[in-house]
Amino acid sequence: MSQLVDSDDTTPLLGDDASSDDSQDEDYKSRWRSIRVMYFTMFLSSVGFTIVITSLWPYLQKIDDSANATFLGWVVASYSVGQMVASPLFGLWSNYRPRREPLVCSIFINVSANIYYAYAYLPQTNNKFHILMSRAFVGFGAALQACLSFIGERGVTVQIIDLQLNMYTAPAFLAAAFGIINILLVLLVLREHRVDDHGRHIRAINYTSEETEETIDQVAVLTSNALFFIVMFIFAVFETIATPLSMDMFAWTRKEAVLYNGIIICCIGFESILVFVVVKVASQRVGDRPVLLAGLAIIFCGFFILLPWGNHYPKIQWADLKNNSLVSQISKATIASNSSSEPTGCPYEQTWCQYTPAIHLAQYISADILIGVGYPACNVMSYTLYSKILGPKPQGVYMGWLTASGSGARTLGPVFVSQVYTILGPRWAFSLICGMVVGAIVLLSSLYHRLIAFSVRHGRAAE
């Protein structure tokens, strides 16, 4: 989406002349209200995604036992497929029409899709495909999951509307409620504003493209998209594999996985807030590119720590049954139907479980901490650099392509990790990710001199 308020490195976001008269003072206040609404919109979008993702794998297993880790990859990827298709279209829409139109439309689609997701248990067959479709629509259009896990798998049932409110469906309904609140704020509070180079309000907003004499560095644009693709690919791998990995390595039950991973993501969320504050100060002192480079190095360390080592191996599901002739005749389905006998550990179908050392909990938590530092730093610096590279031109379409590249990464990442992890195990999966991070570092270093602000490139400001 194009920027509602345009500024550069030397211009305050909101001008200092707001108190010159009543009209300007009201414009000043309105602009701040609009900015806060957009901050809140981004916050609700992130929360709505995160509170669902940690319970997605257990929910999928519960309503359709034919789903496996490979299909989970497709479900997570479907969100990004929808986002990848929609981003350029909505970006183009925002360049030529009031920004509230595509914003409200996308939020409404998101609300509807979350309700669809919550009711995916109702069909008698193919439930997993309904989850797949609902997540795609959520993509088209934080960590509260730990707080919702107390509801349990049974939860409560509202017969009149065929509603099962449990630890899996409650996050989707909560995300839908957030979306409704968001729509009301956008319609009632958000107002669009443009400011000139001195932070003064421009009353007329032109939704047609504005041409400037200077050209955008397309090499820098492509490089930024490639780096953003790698950053989002890496994080998509992390968020997809977190729940299955923890269930395999630490023999957690579905409820334990939802609770503990929810708590971990909550902590990472608070950590990210601190990172954003530090990144802002660091980027002002040393620049955006060094911070991006440091973020990639920290992500590399996070995934490198996850590489399995030692002589301790994960618990194998059904191993005790295979070695006991008296109970070997009992079907897995019969035992799985008993909630007190929920199988835990690494599925024996994943043959690597038998010869790959287990990942220790300390490794897992250390990696979470490092990735929780590196990812937000890379994410915010990618957006910041990209916006500066584009300069004063309307950024709706360009930002749409950046989001599309990120969505493409979040499409391929889950599919990649679900396939590699299921077949080859964490050693191969995380080694390949480390190789990708090294590739990103090399790319950034080789084109370091091209990733500069539009104003710097055209001699309007010092680097």
The DSSP code sequence of 195-261 is E-TTS-EES----S----SSPP-HHHHHHHHHHHHHHHHHHHHHHHHHHHHHHHHH---HHHHHHHH
Q: How far apart are CA 143 and CA 304, in angstroms?
A: 25
Using pLDDT thresholds of 50, 70 and 90, give the confidence band for residue 338: very low
Three-state SS for 447? Answer: coil
Considering the domain boundaries, does residue 13 fall inside one?
no
Q: How far apart are CA 65 and CA 254, in angstroms?
A: 13
Considering the domain boundaries, does residue 325 fall inside one?
no
The confidence score (pLDDT) of residue 177 equals 76
Whether 2 has a pLDDT exceeding 70, the answer reads no
Tokens of 88: 């350029």
pTM for this entry: 0.64
Considering the domain boundaries, does residue 386 fall inside one?
yes
More confidently predicted of 388 and 20? 388
Model confidence pLDDT, tens digit, residues 409-435: 877 887 888 789 989 999 999 999 999
Burial letters 18-32, b for 16+ CB under 10 A, else e: beeeeeeeebbebbe
The confidence score (pLDDT) of residue 368 equals 93
The confidence score (pLDDT) of residue 230 equals 93
Contact 81, 135 (CB under 8 A): no
Considering the domain boundaries, does residue 241 fall inside one?
yes
Q: What percent of the chain has pLDDT over 70?
A: 63
Rounded to a whole number of angstroms, the CA Rg of the chain reads 24
Cβ-based neighbour number of residue 273 at 10 Å? 10
The confidence score (pLDDT) of residue 126 equals 74
Considering the domain boundaries, does residue 8 fall inside one?
no
Burial of 172 (0-12, 13-18, 19+ CB in 10 A): buried
Contact 164, 121 (CB under 8 A): yes
Mean of the per-residue pLDDT values of the chain: 74
Using pLDDT thresholds of 50, 70 and 90, give the confidence band for residue 50: low
Whether 38 has a pLDDT exceeding 60, the answer reads yes
Model confidence pLDDT, tens digit, residues 8-30: 444 444 444 444 555 556 666 66
- If you write DSSP's letter for every residue of 121-190 in order, what string do you get? TSSSS-HHHHHHHHHHHHHH---THHHHGGGTTT-EEEGGGTEEESTTTHHHHHHHHHHHHHHHHHHHT-
More confidently predicted of 337 and 438? 438
Considering the domain boundaries, does residue 12 fall inside one?
no
Q: Which residues contact 382 (CB under 8 A, 6 or more apart)?
A: 224, 227, 228, 231, 292, 402
Q: How far apart are CA 83 and CA 79, in angstroms?
A: 6
The confidence score (pLDDT) of residue 248 equals 92
> How do 163-165 and 156-158 pair as beta strands?
antiparallel
**Host H or E run for residue 404:** helix 396-424
Considering the domain boundaries, does residue 236 fall inside one?
yes
Whether 206 has a pLDDT exceeding 60, the answer reads no
What is the span of the domain harbouring residue 246?
22-317+343-457
Using pLDDT thresholds of 50, 70 and 90, give the confidence band for residue 224: very high
φ, ψ (nearest 5 deg) of residue 323: -95, 0
Q: Where are the beta strands (DSSP E) in 12-160?
A: 156-158
Tokens of 138: 């959520």
Q: Which amino acid is at 365?
A: I
Question: In the predicted model, what is the mean pLDDT of residues 72-98?
Answer: 68
> What is the end-to-end Cα distance of the chain in Å, rounded?
26
Whether 284 has a pLDDT exceeding 60, the answer reads yes
Handedness of CA 256, 258, 263, 267 (dihedral sign): positive
Tokens of 160: 């009149």
CATH number of the domain to which 191 belongs = 1.20.1250.20
Model confidence pLDDT, tens digit, residues 58-67: 777 777 777 7
Using pLDDT thresholds of 50, 70 and 90, give the confidence band for residue 305: very high
Please give the tally of structural domains in the chain. 1
Model confidence pLDDT, tens digit, residues 120-149: 777 777 777 777 776 665 554 436 444 455
The confidence score (pLDDT) of residue 293 equals 95
Question: In the predicted model, what is the mean pLDDT of residues 455-463?
Answer: 65
Question: In the predicted model, what is the mean pLDDT of residues 231-256?
Answer: 88
Question: In the predicted model, what is the mean pLDDT of residues 390-399?
Answer: 70
Considering the domain boundaries, does residue 5 fall inside one?
no
Q: Name the β-bridge partners of 43.
A: none
- Residue reference for tokens 């070695």: 323
Question: In the predicted model, what is the mean pLDDT of residues 382-391?
Answer: 85
